[in-house]
């Protein structure tokens, strides 16, 4: 069954490591829906969170192939556990002064924030799981979205570690 | 021959090499290679490796063989590695030197051959500026190396070399590239060579899970029609002796893949041949009827399985033994996975191995093997390539190291040279690299000075690396070169005949050089044979002549390799051609 998987990959923070990981996905025909990279809790190591789609066999191959990279320390299929996944989006939306109160209403309902106000536009910042951001984008579409920038999901397993 | 041994004792040399002197990156490289017991490096100099070559100048302990093309260097290093199991080493300069290695790196990667590939690069200060002879070789080779390093600080160099040798030669073996910018090769630092390697993200599983091995042994005891596919992993882990004992104990018939040839002796009563696209009749048929299939160091390549969802359809269980967990379940679904080094797995299995219930099956398949041997129509008027291979086998008593290029002659060599020893068949299996056959023989010969090394090539592939005839002549490397000349790209011709309805497109190699004169131009003795008698006489003369000899066998043009399974069909759906 093809479904979405969220994988966490702990890697050595070495030059070229992102290229190694993304190149592996590319050449083996694995899909990358989003990828986020940043420092981890340990110095010298970075954590990548990759959202991918595929059946269970594909997921198994992805994990095994990732482990073959020397710079990969640990691979965890987060989505096989209860997890928290969050994404941030910045949405620049048309906002003539007359339309602003209505937009602010939407922003408030989503517990989003306005982080910039221009003469005829606003930048809305929203944090949440990808579905929440999709919904926010849908609601703002009628006003005219001028620019949309999403980070892709970062994620973690809920509860205590080991 | 070129490999001279130093006058110093090993201990004396080691002590000298380990001195914590302040030395350049180039000197560090040479010392590290010697500490890794490298006795011959294949290479080609150029601008970015001038410091490295300068360090070699006048160094009596370090052996370097200058090839005539970087591709020749890396294939020679590959042949050296396959013949010995040691890590092969080659050196090339930046840019075009490095990119000329790419085919050789991919060849080694596909066949899991341990190589350490050293490239020069432009100075760190100009990397990324499109400097003269700059190429991002670590980027280019990322998908075809097991790992790669760009050395940015000379102080990292000894550790990197130590790690590279460790990574190349352990787990599933493979090529590791070290890219050394020119300034790094001239920077100085105190030399310290680490004794141990610690790489956090790299811990290959060598010892198998006991429970899985026991499950395999249970499955064997219950099976009535078991089969083993033995692959390159048997050869790479030096597990031939263990495999023979395992087979004798469990009574399971064996097929060996192209790169598994020699890993199990073809003289053994339970050996059924090579399976796959050009596999033996019985090997393919037996795989299709077996009730238990055990893959040992074999990766179920598409040339072996052909149509995967029709492959071994009667196998109730598939066992897969492999050092690389990613191979298990990649192509065929596996009920009993055993991750580990083939030798370690078999040693553990041997402690409790009991026979399968296979005697009826054995008499069935061995009868089939007798009734359907590999066959070709011999001719008294034309020289047949299969005859040439049989004659080479006979005259070398089956004891030579045989390297091949890629194509029809490769399949005939696999079929008709009956291999009985591991590391005796050297061929580019996974990548199918034309131009590999001849230079790999040079490496194999340097690694095995006492053995007869035969390089079997087609007239196409011979022209892809023929420049290395020069180094055979200059260094008196006594490779016996067979050119099976059918005046066409035979395997392509065969496909065009069978699959593309005789539409022969760009396969005619008429106008190739006179191979005898070509050899002579380089100072290698050349002989030609156009019939059986000449073939035997020329080949015998070649074997009796010290030094390198090239023999051109002018063979029948339209000969095909049979059996043949065309793509999209299952392996028991064989075109038997004139072999039946």
DSSP assignments along B300-344, one per residue? --HHHHSSGGGSSTT-SEEEEEES-GGGTTTSS--SEEEES-HHH
Per-residue model confidence (pLDDT) at position B251 = 98
Do B535 and B555 touch, CB atoms closer than 8 A? no
Alpha carbon of B110: minimum distance to chain A alpha carbons (Å): 14
Q: Which of B103, B78, B74, B79 is nearest to B91 (CA)?
A: B74
The ipTM, to two decimals, is 0.92
> What topology does CATH give the domain A3-80?
Alpha-Beta Plaits (3.30.70)
Q: Which residues contact B317 (CB under 8 A, 6 or more apart)?
A: B219, B223, B291, B292, B293, B335, B336
Q: Do A73 and B147 touch (CB under 8 A)?
A: no
Do B500 and B507 touch, CB atoms closer than 8 A? no
Q: CB distance from A112 to chain B under 8 Å? A: no
Dihedral Cα B532, B534, B540, B541, nearest 10 deg = -170
Domain match, B345 and B262 both: yes
pLDDT along chain B (580 residues), means of 10: 63 93 97 95 98 94 96 98 98 98 98 98 98 98 98 98 98 98 98 95 96 98 98 98 98 98 98 98 98 98 97 98 97 97 98 98 98 93 96 98 98 97 98 98 97 98 97 98 97 96 96 97 98 97 98 95 96 82
Token pair recorded at residue B2 = 């070129």
Q: Exposed e or buried b for every residue in B233-247, given b needs 16+ CB within 10 A?
A: bbbbbebbebbbebb
The whole-angstrom separation of Cα A9 and Cα A7 is 6
At residue B262, the 3 state secondary structure works out as coil
Per-residue model confidence (pLDDT) at position B163 = 98
3-state secondary structure A36-74: EEEECCCCCEEEEEEEEEECHHHHHHHHHHHHHCCCEEE
- Does B450 fall in a domain? yes
How far CA B162 is from CA of B43, B67, B84, B188, in Å, comes to: 20, 26, 20, 18
Cβ-based contacts of A68 with chain B (< 8 Å)? 146, 172, 324, 326
- Does B222 fall in a domain? yes
CATH number (domain holding residue B164): 3.40.50.970
pTM: 0.96
Token pair recorded at residue B123 = 């100075």
Identical fold for domains A3-80 and A84-157, yes or no, is: yes
Domain range summary for chain A, segments of one domain joined by + = 3-80, 84-157
Average pLDDT of the residues in A8-34:
95
Per-residue model confidence (pLDDT) at position B5 = 55
Compute chain A's Rg from CA coordinates.
Answer: 19
The whole-angstrom separation of Cα B455 and Cα B484 is 10
Cβ-based contacts of B329 with chain A (< 8 Å)? 57, 60-61
Domain match, B365 and B389 both: no
* Res. A161 pLDDT band, cuts 50 70 90: low
Q: DSSP code of B208? A: P
Q: DSSP code of B555? A: -
The whole-angstrom separation of Cα A5 and Cα A18 is 19
- In this structure, what are the phi and psi dihedrals at residue B33, rounded to the nearest 5 degrees? -65, -40
How far CA B215 is from CA of B9, B221, B352, in Å, comes to: 49, 10, 11
Domain match, B466 and B492 both: yes
Domain match, B127 and B270 both: no
The whole-angstrom separation of Cα B48 and Cα B123 is 8
Question: Residue B506: how many CA atoms within 13 Å on its side-chain side?
Answer: 0
Residue B453, beta-bridge partner list: B401
Alpha carbon of B25: minimum distance to chain A alpha carbons (Å): 21
Q: Do B142 and A20 touch (CB under 8 A)?
A: yes
Question: What's the number of domains chain B is made of?
Answer: 3
Question: CB-CB: which of B142, B147, B325 is closest to A64?
Answer: B325
**Residue B183 falls in which region: left (phi positive, over 0), alpha (psi -120 to 50) or beta:** alpha
Per-residue model confidence (pLDDT) at position B6 = 60
A vs B, Cβ pairs < 8 A, gives: 41
Token pair recorded at residue B101 = 């290695």
The whole-angstrom separation of Cα B241 and Cα B224 is 24
Q: CB distance from A28 to chain B under 8 Å? A: no
- Does B101 fall in a domain? yes
Q: Which of B315, B339, B371 is the last residue of a domain?
A: B371
Domain match, B217 and B108 both: no
Domain match, B397 and B539 both: yes
Question: CB-CB: which of B138, B201, B330 is closest to A70?
Answer: B201
Domain match, B182 and B243 both: no
Q: CB distance from A136 to chain B under 8 Å? A: no
Q: Which of B332, B329, B330, B348 is nearest to B340 (CA)?
A: B348
Residue count of chain B, please give it. 580
Q: Which CATH architecture describes the domain A84-157?
A: 2-Layer Sandwich (3.30)
Q: Sign of dihedral through CA atoms B529, B534, B537, B539? A: positive
The whole-angstrom separation of Cα B225 and Cα B253 is 9
Q: Which of B186, B227, B425 is nearest to B311 (CA)?
A: B227
What are the catalytic residues of B?
70, 132-133, 182, 491
Give first-to-last CA distance, chain A, whole Å.
Answer: 30
Q: Do A67 and B146 touch (CB under 8 A)?
A: no
The whole-angstrom separation of Cα B523 and Cα B473 is 6
Domain match, B392 and B321 both: no
Q: Which of B371, B396, B431 is the last residue of a domain?
A: B371
Q: In what order do the strands lie in the sheet with B64-66?
A: B64-66, B41-43, B88-92, B115-121, B175-181, B147-150
Q: Which residues contact B309 (CB under 8 A, 6 or more apart)?
A: none
Domain match, B356 and B391 both: no
Domain match, B49 and B186 both: yes
Alpha carbon of B89: minimum distance to chain A alpha carbons (Å): 20
The whole-angstrom separation of Cα A17 and Cα B149 is 11
Per-residue model confidence (pLDDT) at position B577 = 84
Token pair recorded at residue B169 = 């030669």
Label residue B50 exposed, middle or buried (CB < 10 Å: 0-12, 13-18, 19+).
middle
Do B443 and B42 touch, CB atoms closer than 8 A? yes
Q: Do A19 and B150 touch (CB under 8 A)?
A: no
Question: CB-CB: which of A16, A19, A73 is closest to B201?
Answer: A73
Token pair recorded at residue A87 = 């994404």
Cis amide leading into B539 (omega within 30): no
Residue count of chain A, please give it. 162
For strand B64-66 and strand B41-43, is the pairing parallel, antiparallel, or unpaired? parallel
- Does B292 fall in a domain? yes
Domain span at residue B127? 10-190
The shares of helix, strand and coil residues in chain A, as percent rounded to the nearest 5, are: 35, 40, 25
Domain match, B463 and B554 both: yes
Per-residue model confidence (pLDDT) at position B7 = 67
Domain match, B280 and B221 both: yes
Per-residue model confidence (pLDDT) at position B580 = 45
Cβ-based contacts of B326 with chain A (< 8 Å)? 61, 64-65, 67-68
């Amino acid at each position: 069954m093809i479904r979405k998987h969220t994988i966490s990959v702990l890697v050595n923070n070495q030059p070229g490591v992102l290229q190694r990981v993304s190149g592996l996905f590319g050449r083996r025909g694995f899909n990358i829906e989003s990828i986020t990279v940043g420092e981890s809790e340990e110095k010298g190591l970075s954590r990548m969170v990759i959202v991918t789609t595929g059946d269970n066999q594909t997921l198994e191959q992805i994990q095994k192939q990732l482990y073959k990279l020397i710079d990969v320390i640990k691979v965890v299929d987060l989505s096989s556990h209860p997890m928290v996944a969050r994404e941030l989006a910045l949405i620049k939306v048309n906002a003539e002064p007359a339309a602003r109160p209505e937009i602010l209403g939407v922003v408030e309902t989503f517990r989003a924030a306005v982080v910039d106000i221009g003469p005829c536009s606003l930048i809305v910042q929203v944090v949440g799981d990808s579905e929440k951001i999709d919904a926010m984008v849908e609601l703002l579409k009628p006003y005219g979205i001028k620019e949309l920038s999403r980070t892709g999901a970062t994620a973690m397993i809920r509860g205590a570690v080991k | 021959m070129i490999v001279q041994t130093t006058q110093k004792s090993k201990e004396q040399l080691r002590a000298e090499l380990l001195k914590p002197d302040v030395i350049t990156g180039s000197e560090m490289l040479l010392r590290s290679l010697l500490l890794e017991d490298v006795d011959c490096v294949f290479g080609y100099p150029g601008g970015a490796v001038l410091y490295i070559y300068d360090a070699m100048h006048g160094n009596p302990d370090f052996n370097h063989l200058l090839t005539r093309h970087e591709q020749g260097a890396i294939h020679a290093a590959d042949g050296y590695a396959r013949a010995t199991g040691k890590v092969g080493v080659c050196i090339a300069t930046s840019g075009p030197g490095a990119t000329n290695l790419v085919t050789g790196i991919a060849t080694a990667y596909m066949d899991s051959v341990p190589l350490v590939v050293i490239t020069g690069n432009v100075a760190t200060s100009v990397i990324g500026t499109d400097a003269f002879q700059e190429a991002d070789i670590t980027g280019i080779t990322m998908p075809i190396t097991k790992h790669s390093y760009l050395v940015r600080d000379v102080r990292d160099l000894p550790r990197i070399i130590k790690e590279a040798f460790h990574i190349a030669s352990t787990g599933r073996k493979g090529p590791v590239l070290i890219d050394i910018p020119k300034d790094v090769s001239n920077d100085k630092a105190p030399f310290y060579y680490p004794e141990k390697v610690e790489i956090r993200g790299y811990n290959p599983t060598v010892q198998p899970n006991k429970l899985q091995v026991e499950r395999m042994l249970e499955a064997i005891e219950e099976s009535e029609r078991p089969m083993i596919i033995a692959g390159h992993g048997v050869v790479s882990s030096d597990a031939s002796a263990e495999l023979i004992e395992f087979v004798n104990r469990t009574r399971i018939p064996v097929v060996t893949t192209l790169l598994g040839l020699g890993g199990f002796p073809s003289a053994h009563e339970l050996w059924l041949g090579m399976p796959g696209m050009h596999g033996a009749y019985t090997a393919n048929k037996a795989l299709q009827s077996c009730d238990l299939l055990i893959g040992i160091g074999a990766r179920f390549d598409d040339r072996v399985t052909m149509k995967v969802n029709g492959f071994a359809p009667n196998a109730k269980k598939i066992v897969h033994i492999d050092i690389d967990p990613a191979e298990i379940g990649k192509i065929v679904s596996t009920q009993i996975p055993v991750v580990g080094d083939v030798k370690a797995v078999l040693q553990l299995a041997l402690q409790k191995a009991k026979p399968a219930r296979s005697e009826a099956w054995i008499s069935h398949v061995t009868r089939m093997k007798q009734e359907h041997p590999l066959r070709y129509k011999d001719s008294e008027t034309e020289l047949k390539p299969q005859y040439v291979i049989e004659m080479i086998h006979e005259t070398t008593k089956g004891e030579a190291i045989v390297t091949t290029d890629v194509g029809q002659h490769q399949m005939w060599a696999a079929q008709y040279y009956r291999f009985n020893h591991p590391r005796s068949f050297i061929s580019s299996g996974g990548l199918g690299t034309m131009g590999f056959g001849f230079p790999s023989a040079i490496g194999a010969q340097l690694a095995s000075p006492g053995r007869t090394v035969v390089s079997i090539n087609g007239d196409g592939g011979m022209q892809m690396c023929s420049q290395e005839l020069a180094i055979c002549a200059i260094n008196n490397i006594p490779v016996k070169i067979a050119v099976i000349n059918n005046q066409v790209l035979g395997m392509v011709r065969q496909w065009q005949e069978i699959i593309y309805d005789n539409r022969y497109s760009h396969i005619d190699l008429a106008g190739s050089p006179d191979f005898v004169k070509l050899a002579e131009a380089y100072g290698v003795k050349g002989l030609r044979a156009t019939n059986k008698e000449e073939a035997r006489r020329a080949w015998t003369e070649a074997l009796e002549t010290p030094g390198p000899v090239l023999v051109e066998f002018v063979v029948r043009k339209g000969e095909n390799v049979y059996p043949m399974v065309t793509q999209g069909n299952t392996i028991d759906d064989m075109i038997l051609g004139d072999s039946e």
